[in-house]
Structure 1
Amino acid sequence: MRSYVLTVFEQTGEKLLDETFTAASDDEAKEIGQKRLTDEGYGDHTHRCVTPEAKLILFHR
C-alpha cells in the first residue's frame, strides 16, 4: 500500500481538507480521492491528489 495526499483549497488559499490515505495503486487512489471530494461537497473547489513521488493524479483549479 502507498500513501497519497488529498488537499482542497478555498479561493483565498485556505486549506479546507488536507489528509493522507492509502491505496494499492494510482487508479485506486484516484477513485478514493474523487469519492471523498464528492462526499464532502468539494468537487468544484481547487483540489489535488498526489502520489508519494509528488505526481499529480487528481487536479482541479
Structure 2
Amino acid sequence: MAVYVLTVFDGTGKVLVDERFDAKDDAEAKKLGESKIAELKYETYSSRVTKSSGGLVLFHQ
C-alpha cells in the first residue's frame, strides 16, 4: 500500500480538501480520488491526486 493525497482548490487557490488515503496502486488511487471528488460535489474545481513519492496520479483543472 502507498500513501496518496487528494487536494482540491477553489478558483482563488484556497485549499478545500487535503486528504491522505492508502491505495494498492495508482489505478486504485485514481478511482478513489475521483469517487471522493464526486461525493463532495467538487467536480468543477481544480484537483489532484499525488503519491507520497512525488508522482502525479490525477489532475483536473
- The TM tier, using the shorter chain, reads over 0.9
Q: Which residue of 1 is the match for residue 6 of structure 2? A: 6
State the shift of 1:50 in Å: 0.3
Q: Which residue of 2 is the match for residue 15 of structure 1? A: 15
Q: Would you identify which runs of 4 or more consecutive aligned residues in structure 1 move more than 6 Å?
A: none
- Give the Cα–Cα distance (whole angstroms) in 1 for the partners of residues 54 and 39 of structure 2: 24
CA deviation map 1:9-60 (0-9, x unaligned): 0111100000000000110000000000000001110001001121111101
- Give the Cα–Cα distance (whole angstroms) in 2 for the partners of residues 54 and 41 of structure 1: 26
Total equivalences in the alignment = 61
TM, length-normalised to structure 2? 0.95
In structure 1, stretches of 5+ residues that fail to align are none
The RMSD of aligned alpha carbons is 0.6
Identical counterparts, % of pairs:
41
Letter in 2 for 1:40: L
In structure 2, stretches of 5+ residues that fail to align are none
TM, length-normalised to structure 1? 0.95
